[in-house]
Amino acid sequence: MTRALILLRRRLIGSVFVLLIVVIGTFLLLEAAPGDAVDAYIVSTGGDAGMIELLRHRWGLDQSALTRLANYLWALLHLDLGQSVTFSGPIRDVILERLPNTLLLMGSATALSFGLGSALGIYAGARPGSFRDRFLSIGSLALYAVPGFWLALVLIIIFAVDLRWFPIGGIESIASGKTGLDRAADIARHLILPVSALGFIYLALYLRMMRAGMAEVWRQDFVLAARAKGLSRRRIVLAHVARNALLPLVTMLGLQSAQMLGGSVVIESVFSVPGLGRLAQEAVAARDTPLLLGIILVSAVLVIAINLLVDIAYAFLDPRVGASEASA
């Protein structure tokens, strides 16, 4: 337990610096954007030059860049991301409302790509160099080459337009009045296509990593020992080779989370899933830069949190991790 705590503390300190750099980056982008919050406000409400002057002063926008950065940081410390003009409300609330849908989509897609990818990777890596190994490697590479938004459209053409098996978009049927399990089933039906589109693209990554990892493990002495003991091939593959090759994939889960968040922008846009990604696209369409940067900040926090969780999980899974770090 102490190992994990020490690791956690070190990572947290590093994360604070990283987050600070991200904040300064978003602040610079905000500064570079044409117009400021007052311009955006005036466009929606109207007002004369005196009003603009007054608002600039009141919102502290007439101060130096450094003071404004300090104000920005101070507001962020109070979890205040500013106001969204398009949604006429606090950005924090707009984002929090959309976040659960994205987490649900990302979580399911990750489970799909990790689960199916590592299973197929084990299947391919059990017989390195065989036909099925080559077929799966090339097949997964082809899948990795598919743009997410296009796969989404193809799935819509086949399964929503032609076969009519699944709804074309949205997160649940509008005003269906469903509750409890019925509602959960309804949401699941809506999510099958977006989760497949997002999950299948990243499947190749886990498959190839699992396969490569198994190829490494096959060469090690304990596999030879297991063979000499007369264990069945199945048991060697599952209990010895696959198990040891699985560990690096866990780290990949954390590294991949940023990619998945980026990928969910187009997937959510195509399927009209009201999540963070679609919100980002709406922010771009409405030229709502503060909202867009708020989304970036929240994504960064999310990615950091996921990576922390993965690190902790890894420390528990692999007793070697942290043993040297704790003593150092």
Partner 1 sequence: MSPLRRFLLAPEAIAGAIILVALFAMALTASLFFPGDPQAIAGPALLPPFQDWSLPLGTDRLGRDVLAELFHGARTSLVVGLAAAAAALAVGAIVGTLAGFAGGLVDEVLMRITDAFQTVPSFLLALAFVSVVGPSLGVVVTAIALGAWTGPARVARAEVLSIRERDFVAGARVIGMHPLEIAFREVLPNALPAVLALSSVIVAAAILTEAALSFLGLGDPNRVTWGGMIAEGRAVLRTAPFLSIIPGVALVLTVLGVYLAGEGVVETTAVRRSLS
**Which residues are CB-contacts of 26 (< 8 A; sequence separation ≥ 6)?**
293, 296, 297
Is residue 95 within the footprint of partner 1 (CB under 8 A)? no
Number of chain positions touching partner 1 (CB under 8 A): 50
Residue with smaller CB distance to partner 1, 75 or 142: 142
Of the pair 29, 188, the CB lying nearest partner 1 is at 29
Q: Smaller CB distance to partner 1: residue 237 or 293?
A: 293
The reply on whether position 289 binds partner 1 by CB under 8 A is: yes
Can residue 193 be called a binding residue for partner 1 (CB under 8 A)?
Answer: no
316: contact with partner 1 by CB under 8 A:
no
Residues 19 to 78: which contact partner 1 by CB under 8 A?
19, 21-22, 25-26, 29, 32-33
To partner 1, the closest distance from the beta carbon of 266 in angstroms equals: 5
Under 8 Å between Cβ of 283 and 295: yes
Cβ atoms of 195 and 268 closer than 8 Å: no
Least CB distance to partner 1 at residue 289 (A): 6
Taking CB under 8 A as the criterion, which residues in 140-169 touch partner 1?
A: 141-142, 144-150, 153-154, 156-157, 161
Q: State whether residue 187 is helix, strand or coil.
A: helix
Task: Write down the least CB distance from residue 281 to partner 1, Å.
Answer: 6
Please report whether residue 292 would count as binding partner 1 according to CB under 8 A: yes
Write a three-state SS string for 229-243.
CCCCHHHHHHHHHHH
Distance separating alpha carbons of residues 196 and 112, to the nearest angstrom: 8
- Is residue 131 close enough to count as binding partner 1 by CB under 8 A? no
Whichever of 213 and 263 has its CB closer to partner 1, that residue is 263
For the record, the structure tokens of 65 come out as: 């860049």
How many CA atoms within 13 Å lie on the side-chain side of 203?
28
Query: Could you tell me the sign of the dihedral formed by the alpha carbons of 321, 323, 326, 328, in that order?
Result: negative
Residue 94 within binding range of partner 1, rule CB under 8 A: no
Phi then psi dihedrals of residue 90, to 5 deg: -65, 135
